[in-house]
Amino acid sequence: MNDYSLSSSPHKTPLRHDWSRDEVAALLALPFPELIYRAQTVHRAYFDPTKIQISTLLSIKSGGCPEDCAYCPQSAHHEKSVTREALLPLETVLREAKAAKDSGAERFCMGAAWKKPKDRDLDAVCEMVSAVKTLGLETCLTIGMLTPEQSARLKEAGLDYYNHNLDTSEEFYGSIISTRTYQDRLDTLSNVRDAGIHVCCGGIIGMGETDSDRVGLLMTLANLPKHPESVPINLLVRVEGTPLQDAKPIDMITFTRVIATARILMPASHVRLAAGRETMSESDHALCFLAGANSIFWGEKLLTTPNPVKNKDQRLLDLLGMTATLPSCSSQG
Ligand code: SAM
Ligand code: DTB
Ligand code: SF4
């Protein structure tokens, strides 16, 4: 097996948490070839650039969410929102987790359309986390706001990662969500981090934000007390019936710039090319990987919206001569 990483490279600089707005803006605006060159240099110092980390998502409780996130089909505030369903039974979750493992996923991420879990719900979710963990999968949850006590319980149940996105800049946040504040988000991130759970935190591009908002999001992520271990960059999925259904599509060069800048700011983190891949071409994907994205969600559904089928992703990785982090995922179709 070749090792393409340059782990002993002198280019491996210490992680920084003091990025200024001007510095981040200057990176995002670099001439494209220079930006990609810098992102690749950083990427190779910390990772094997031929490897992609694979996670699989399952919506364990869909629809009827009391929050009003303008992008989300699960919000009860929007017309045609996803039908409210009860929490899935443990057996169903385990069946899906086994299937994800067999298909080569390394991490299983369970999402619930809640503002915050009730303690009764948390009992059931803790059971799910423990059971999925015993299958030998990394566990990830995204179920809304958490208190320090709830975070500690989840850690004890075996939770490895918690996904809680900042989504955009603090300035633009109020135009997208009115039922919670940016500070609410930061508080949960802090509770999760303090409980010793790895943080997965990123945002969405293509909601009508400006470059300055993209700078604000990236700067906030990079200046957290610890860089999120995973940074999902979602391209808005424009779902009919949501207030953002007609958002102006953004070009893939702008999107790739965000990925490359995230890679430079948070060199040791996995940068995930998250939602929105269904509408991206093979070349778009390749560009994002060249910019330093090294993780994807694998499987035909995200939470409620479509994602490329596994064979299509496997074909793409084969075409690029890239492989999944776990050997069981490599080109066997
Ligand atoms: N309710 C929890 C929360 O909001 O944290 C967890 C589930 S929520 C669906 C997880 C993340 O999915 C959101 O923070 C958002 O970044 C992303 N997301 C939701 N709808 C999306 C869409 N239409 N396009 C892109 N990303 C989306
Ligand atoms: C993240 O940043 N993206 C994923 C995961 N974290 C939970 C979710 C994307 C959801 C896209 C819309 C849907 O399928 O409902
Ligand atoms: Fe609810 Fe999460 Fe969707 Fe917002 S993003 S409406 S909190 S499920």
pLDDT one-digit tens code per residue, 49-83: 999 999 999 999 999 999 999 999 999 999 877 88
pLDDT at residue number 331: 39
Q: Which residues line ligand 3 (CB under 6 A)?
A: 65, 67, 69, 72, 74-75, 113, 144
Residues annotated as catalytic are 65, 69, 72, 109, 140, 200, 272
Whether the pLDDT of residue 1 is over 50: the answer is no
What percent of the chain is predicted at pLDDT more than 70? 95
Structure tokens belonging to residue 198:
């790895």
Whether the pLDDT of residue 91 is over 70: the answer is yes
Over the chain, what is the mean pLDDT? 94
Model's pTM, two decimal places?
Answer: 0.95
Q: What is the mean pLDDT of residues 137-149?
A: 98
- Indicate whether residue 167 lines ligand 1 (CB < 6 A): yes
Q: What are the angstrom distances between the C-alpha of 183 and each of 62, 141, 145, 198, 258?
A: 25, 20, 11, 19, 23
- Indicate whether residue 304 lines ligand 2 (CB < 6 A): yes
User: What atom in ligand 2 is closest to the CA of residue 307?
Assistant: 14
pLDDT at residue number 12: 83
Best residue among 74, 81, 167 to mutate for probing ligand 3, ranked by most atoms within 8 Å of CB: 74
User: What atom in ligand 3 is closest to the CA of residue 74?
Assistant: 3
Whether the pLDDT of residue 6 is over 70: the answer is no
pLDDT at residue number 332: 35
Weakest mean pLDDT among 64-73, 280-289, 298-307, 319-328:
319-328
Whether the pLDDT of residue 287 is over 60: the answer is yes
pLDDT at residue number 3: 56
Among protein residues, the one with the nearest Cα to ligand 1's atom 3 is 144
pLDDT at residue number 7: 47
198-200/161-163 β-pairing: parallel
Ligand 2 centre distance from Cα of residue 114 (Å): 14
User: What residues have CB less than 8 Å from 136, skipping those under 6 apart?
Assistant: 101
Dist CA 169 CA 212 (whole Å): 8
Dist CA 211 CA 258 (whole Å): 9
What percent of the chain is predicted at pLDDT more than 90? 91
Whether the pLDDT of residue 330 is over 50: the answer is no
Ligand 2 centre distance from Cα of residue 31 (Å): 30
Whether the pLDDT of residue 329 is over 50: the answer is no
Give me the sign of the Cα torsion angle 327, 278, 259, 262.
negative
Q: Which ligand is nearest to the CA of 179?
A: 3
Q: pLDDT digits over 198-249, tens only?
A: 999 999 999 999 999 999 999 999 999 999 999 999 999 999 999 999 999 9
